[in-house]
A and B are shown apart, each in its own frame.
Chain A
């Protein structure tokens, strides 16, 4: 890794994003629109006394899921474009290290996710009155970690896709099972044992649990930090595996 090359690569990816105004608009606006939908879906639902409202419960989880899903998709396509345009092969003939490229994507899309998460969280808290025991800053921070998880898994999966068709198929394969089992639909401790085991193996489960910890506790808990550490560990693992699948030589 080389800091100068890493910074140049991060800047290049952000510059590409900047030229694509429509993508920026979609990144920023879509989560807010979807939160609005969720707000009105649950507006008339009764809330059991002493419990968070359904909107509070769902919106908090959504704030972690949006960046994960969106950044997974964006990264898979961006990396595939590097492959099909020949820029990837060219980059690998330059002094750039594989990790410079992978971390460049992680940092650039992590920054984009920070903007996205800030807007989405702002809408959830100040327009729809989302209430959490913990701070909004922690929620945004965890959302960015979720985004970076999406980027890392996207980079890894793009190594196994030769075409755009294949790349988007990884969404149902890699992302949807994690969504189903992360505790949003059925609490994790109420699932069958084997489903719980699967859920325990998915990094997104820890990301969502970390958000729920912020929702329930005023101060960051040990469990929350452990969850964040697990997600970051998964990020590093995915990036190292992605680097291992990037071959400078091909047939």
Chain B
């Protein structure tokens, strides 16, 4: 029961293609778990499945002790989509206040969320007039404003300047220290080192599920990028073996 998310044999098909192929993993509570993988590896689909907006082909996902997509979870889970999904024709403050109201929070929480993502100066600005990075921070404010127990963030730091990125990661760790569980996706490996735990997926399969330190040790290198490369190579040779065996079984 200490896991915020427990996934067993998750399979998702989209557009006739298998996007997630039998993923099983656990995400511990009160920590920052990184979901790493190249573009198209299935990160977003995985997050959508956890949030409960993805039609799932098989497997089971338990979120905060309940099946993913259970109505009660909507009060407890915050979701940041990859493309900023806020109202362009409202100001940052109006967006934050609207999403705050959906979670039963008030103006104080909304204004704090806007401040926390570094948009206090732009609070009165229409989202349509913001830069790409500001816009995605406005979207982030709306995901955090309900103070959810579990936060699913799909590439929250893309396009942010290095100082802001460091601020945001500090913020994520402060939230984790206060008991919030965070699942953060990224395709940038230098962000992997900032996570407490890592899930690496590639082509719909889970390649690694461990702490950054353990992954470094397992691969025998200090550089996480290189470590992942080795894990992928090792995984590929395994897969070739299994495919060969499967072929023999069929014939």
Contacts and interface: CB of A to CB of B under 8 A. Distances in A.
Contacts of B142: 90
Interface in B66-84: 69, 74-75, 77, 79, 81, 83-84
A249 to B, nearest CB: 5
Contacts of B83: 86
Interface string A221-251: 0000000000000000000000000001111
A45 interface: no
Contacts of A8: 98, 101-102
B170 interface: no
A184 interface: no
Interface residues of B, number: 31
Interface stretch (A11-19, A106-114, A129-137, A202-210): A11-19
B90 interface: yes
Contacts of A251: 14-15, 54-55
Contacts of B53: 89, 92-93, 248-250
Given A249-B69, A250-B55, A19 B98 contact: no
Contact of A5 (B52, B54, B94, B101): B101
Interface string A10-49: 0110011001100000000000000000000000000000
Given A19-B89, A93-B52, 10 more contacts: A5-B102, A8-B102, A9-B98, A12-B90, A19-B90, A93-B53, A95-B74, A95-B75, A96-B102, A248-B53
Interface of B: 14-15, 51-55, 69, 74-75, 77, 79, 81, 83-90, 94, 98-99, 101-104, 126, 142, 146
Interface of A: 4-5, 8-9, 11-12, 15-16, 19-20, 85-87, 89-96, 248-251
